Amino acid sequence: MNKKGEKGKNMKNKGITLIALVITIIVLLILAAVSIATLTGENGILTRAQDAKTNTEIAEEKEAIGIAYNGVMADSLGTGVEAEKLQNELRSNGYTNATAVDNGDGTITVTFDSGRSYTIDADGNISDPEEANIIATMKIEGTRVTKPPMPTERKF
């Protein structure tokens, strides 16, 4: 009878172990699904990282234009900025990928290799970037780049 009792006990332990294994696998699959959803998607970590990278590049380009513009204004003693001088100043500051063009209406357009173009008016105001591939979810206001709330998000 001892042997039978021991045998029954072993079978019961094996059954519990199998059930525990199945439950553990199910929990791991759920955790993997949640992790993948957190990484990808419209509001995922990877998307937000790409948005942050783009926003940083835009801010860097606008800052480079502002520094070059102020440098040219200082050199010309405030008489005005010419596209050629602005381009030379950008290049001397290390931005060899920038091209400045006079629009003929008192504004200058600066284009970077990134494909973004900025327009500078006579007062030194830099426009938002013009780009065919700009991320549609970004909203640019002056020097701030934000994402508008998604339709399912609530704004408090």
**pLDDT score at 7:** 54
Task: Give yes or no for residue 89 having a pLDDT over 80.
Answer: yes
Q: Report the percent of the chain where pLDDT is more than 70.
A: 74
Q: How far is CA 121 from CA 82, 126, 142, in A?
A: 11, 7, 14
Enumerate the H helices of 76-98 as residue ranges.
Answer: 83-92
Q: Report the b/e string of 128-137 with b at 16+ CB within 10 A.
A: bbeeeeeeee
The lowest-confidence range among 108-112, 116-120, 140-144 is 140-144
**pLDDT score at 140:** 47
**pLDDT score at 122:** 84
Strand, coil or helix: 71 = helix
Closest CA to 115 of 99, 127, 103: 99
Between these two residues, 128 and 154, which has the higher pLDDT value?
128
Strand, coil or helix: 121 = coil
What would the pLDDT profile of 1-57 be if each residue is shown by its tens digit?
Answer: 444 555 555 555 666 788 899 999 999 999 999 988 888 887 888 889 999 999 999
pTM of the model: 0.62
